[in-house]
Structure 1
Amino acid sequence: MPLHNRIEGRVLKEKMRSAEEKRVTISFYKYHHIASPETFRDELYLNFDKLGVLGRIYVAAEGINAQISVPEQNKDIFRDHLYSIGFLNGVRLNIAVQDDGRSFFKLKILVRKKIVADGLDDSSFDVTDTGTHVNAAEFNRLADDPDTIIVDMRNHYESEVGHFKGAICPDVDTFREELQVVEDLMKTQKDKKLLMYCTGGIRCEKASAWMKHLGFENVFQLNGGIIKYAQEVKAEGIENKFIGKNFVFDERLGERITNDIIAVCHQCGKPCDDHTNCKNDGCHLLFIQCSECAAQYNGCCSVECKEIVMLPVDAQKELRKGINKGRQVFKKGRSEKIQFRPFNK
């Protein structure tokens, strides 16, 4: 059987939206040396495809990073299979906080150089010497300590819609940039407690080890990230210090943690925290758009893009020819086309 999807994305999205099957969105990661990432990837695809798993998974020599959805009826079978893989036995599975079962529409497993792009030379430091993992209650106690500096290890478009109270949220586009910002921030504050968090914990694994390598001794990281924290505070009935939405990298684009709306529509400035992608495939900008602007601009980021999506499909394709669809085209939340850009440089 083929080891990749061959059906057009638009068809799969429509199938996903109309499906009545209940699905569970799960994320997990594990740093572990994989001798043959390509072989591991192929075996994983075959087994996950049989179970109806959808999602995006990165495999590298350093481990695995996965965001997936699983049919609810196959959840236990999936977990048993995953735990039968030696180094993944008992790996923490982060279950989505807010889930409509429509997070992914196809299975995509890619072999990468790294499971998270960080720009670090892993041979130069001990990547296993990570910071102290803390649960929700311990995080809250540290957050209340005036000697603690809380740093959001995510990108600007993530922290824009939700973050912890009192956290420093660097205005960065990538994790690589984030690491340098945190290093510079802490240079004169090595006596402080550094408390880091991210979506599910994976970025903090590498970041905390790097900071310890640089000589910072009091390094802490939120175990399981925002996802696990939200579940723990609810289950334990303790204070929730996170406000707003948790941005997620799937079709949902966010899961509601609290009712606070701390962002604004990038087109009119109205309180809003709903991310969307511009409907012009030649733009596809990720930005925040309220329902009124969505109707006015036909789901686009500008009048220019709105006019383009009204053209025949063939004409749109002709306009897209030769466009570099790299980082600049898909740059998240940064464009001169949108008026309200709190984080724009």
Structure 2
Amino acid sequence: MALHNRVSATELKERLALETFKRVTISFYQYAKITDPKAFRDQLYTTLNNLGTFGRIYVANEGINAQISVPEHNFEAFKDALYGVDFLNGIRLNIAVDDDGKSFYVLKIKVRDKIVADGIEDPTFDMANRGKYLDAKSFNELTNDPDTVIVDMRNHYEFEVGHFENAIEVPSDTFREQLPMAVDMLSEQKDKNIIMYCTGGIRCEKASAYMLHHGFKNVFHLEGGIIEYTNKAKEQGLPVKFKGKNFVFDDRLGERISDDVISHCHQCGEPCDAHTNCANDGCHLLFIQCESCASKYDACCSEECKEVHALPLEEQVELRKGVVKGLMFNKSRRRSIQQ
């Protein structure tokens, strides 16, 4: 059996569109010592592929990080297979809050140096010494304490469309930069309660360990991140303190948590929180665009990209040669796309 996909993206998307069953979008992670990530990866690919699983999974010596979709009728079989792995037995599964079942169309499992690129080279750093978990109820209670600082450990483009009330942004678009920045920003508040949070828990868990490593005492991290918090808060009838959209790294690009729209179209400035990628494949910039500007610019980020996108495909391909794709929107690029 092939341990990688061999079918074109176009055909895979067509197959997904024709599916008559529901899918469940799930994310999970676990910090654990995996002695042979390649062998584990291959075994996992076989198991999940047989269950019709799509998604993106990273495996490393330090553990696993996964965002996937599973056919609803295979969900229990998926859980049984996952829990059959010793270090994954009973692992928390974050179920998507706002799910259309079309989050992924192919299964990709990659071996990486780390499941979260952190830039940490200090051999004395120990993930076993991490902050205390906070569930939804405890999070709400502790955030009411004036001696509590809430720190968002996500990227700028994630924070922009949604975040917790009174949360501090660490203004960077890479986690490796955010870690030392968070230490510097909070250096005068080491005696306060520091709560770290992120999308599903993987980044804030490592961030909590990093803060403790640098002398902070009262460090907490939100169990299961925004996804688990929202699900539990709604189940328990608690106030949901997250405002706006939760950015997610799949084809949905976001799941709505509250009706608040706290960001603006990057082209006209009107209230909007719909992320999209520039339709010019030579750019593919991630940015926020309202429906009016999508029509005006043909789903592109600028007049220049609109002109390129209107060219015959052969000319576009010629122009793209040597161009790096996959640019992510950040503060440094914001003014360059506003009209």
How far does residue 324 in structure 1 lie from its aligned partner after superposition?
2.8
Which range moves more in the overlay, 291-300 or 218-227? 291-300
1:280 match: secondary structure: coil
CA contact (8 A) 1:280 1:305 kept: yes
Structure 1 partner of 2:151: 151
Structure 2 partner of 1:331: 328
Structure 2 partner of 1:8: 8
Q: Which segments of structure 1 move beyond 6 Å, counting only runs of 4 or more?
A: none
Structure 1 partner of 2:91: 91
1:98 match: secondary structure: coil
How far does residue 337 in structure 1 lie from its aligned partner after superposition?
3.7
2:97 match: secondary structure: coil
Percent identity over the alignment is 61
How far does residue 188 in structure 1 lie from its aligned partner after superposition?
1.4
Structure 2 partner of 1:343: none
How far does residue 331 in structure 1 lie from its aligned partner after superposition?
2.6
Structure 2 partner of 1:58: 58
Which range moves more in the overlay, 121-130 or 229-238? 121-130
Q: Distance in 1 between matches of 2:242 and 2:42?
A: 39
Q: Distance in 1 between matches of 2:21 and 2:151?
A: 39
1:66 match: secondary structure: strand
Residues 307-343 of structure 1 show CA distances to partners (whole Å, capped at 9, x for unaligned) of: 1111121111110001133xxx513243554218xxx
> Are the structure 2 counterparts of residues 278 and 17 from structure 1 closer, same or farther at C-alpha, using a change threshold of 3 Å?
farther
Structure 2 partner of 1:47: 47
Residues 140-173 of structure 1 show CA distances to partners (whole Å, capped at 9, x for unaligned) of: 1111111001100100000100000000012211
Q: Distance in 2 between matches of 1:128 and 1:30?
A: 12
RMSD: 1.3
Structure 2 partner of 1:306: 306
Residues 290-312 of structure 1 show CA distances to partners (whole Å, capped at 9, x for unaligned) of: 11111111111111111111112
Residues 94-147 of structure 1 show CA distances to partners (whole Å, capped at 9, x for unaligned) of: 000000000001100000000000101263222111101011111111111110
CA contact (8 A) 1:163 1:243 kept: yes
Q: Quick one: which amino acid aligns to residue 164 of structure 1? A: F
How far does residue 58 in structure 1 lie from its aligned partner after superposition?
0.2
CA contact (8 A) 2:266 2:334 kept: no
> Are the structure 2 counterparts of residues 335 and 186 from structure 1 closer, same or farther at C-alpha, using a change threshold of 3 Å?
closer
- Establish whether residue 266 from structure 1 lines up as the match of residue 263 from structure 2: no
1:123 match: secondary structure: coil
2:67 match: secondary structure: strand
> Are the structure 2 counterparts of residues 145 and 205 from structure 1 closer, same or farther at C-alpha, using a change threshold of 3 Å?
same
CA contact (8 A) 1:301 1:337 kept: no
Q: Distance in 1 between matches of 2:89 and 2:262?
A: 39
Superposition pairs for residues 1-345 of structure 1, below 5 Å? 1-121=1-121, 123-325=123-325, 330-333=327-330, 334-339=333-338
Which range moves more in the overlay, 308-317 or 51-60? 308-317
2:56 match: secondary structure: strand
> Are the structure 2 counterparts of residues 122 and 110 from structure 1 closer, same or farther at C-alpha, using a change threshold of 3 Å?
farther
How far does residue 204 in structure 1 lie from its aligned partner after superposition?
1.3
CA contact (8 A) 2:280 2:300 kept: yes
Q: Quick one: which amino acid aligns to residue 138 of structure 1? A: S
Q: Distance in 2 between matches of 1:38 and 1:122?
A: 25
CA contact (8 A) 2:132 2:219 kept: yes
1:176 match: secondary structure: helix
Q: Distance in 1 between matches of 2:279 and 2:7?
A: 21
1:324 match: secondary structure: coil
Unaligned stretches of 5+ in structure 2? none
CA contact (8 A) 2:28 2:67 kept: yes
Q: Quick one: which amino acid aligns to residue 280 of structure 1? A: N
2:189 match: secondary structure: coil
> Are the structure 2 counterparts of residues 139 and 48 from structure 1 closer, same or farther at C-alpha, using a change threshold of 3 Å?
same
1:259 match: secondary structure: coil
Q: Quick one: which amino acid aligns to residue 313 of structure 1? A: L
Please, what TM-score do these two structures have when normalized by structure 2?
0.97
Residues 16-75 of structure 1 show CA distances to partners (whole Å, capped at 9, x for unaligned) of: 234332100000000111111111111111111110000000000110000000000000
CA contact (8 A) 2:198 2:204 kept: yes
Q: How many residues align?
A: 337
Residues 167-223 of structure 1 show CA distances to partners (whole Å, capped at 9, x for unaligned) of: 001221111111122100121111111011100100011111111111111001111
> Are the structure 2 counterparts of residues 177 and 141 from structure 1 closer, same or farther at C-alpha, using a change threshold of 3 Å?
same
How far does residue 14 in structure 1 lie from its aligned partner after superposition?
3.4
Please, what TM-score do these two structures have when normalized by structure 1?
0.95
Which range moves more in the overlay, 166-175 or 15-24? 15-24
Q: Quick one: which amino acid aligns to residue 330 of structure 1? A: L
How far does residue 10 in structure 1 lie from its aligned partner after superposition?
2.9
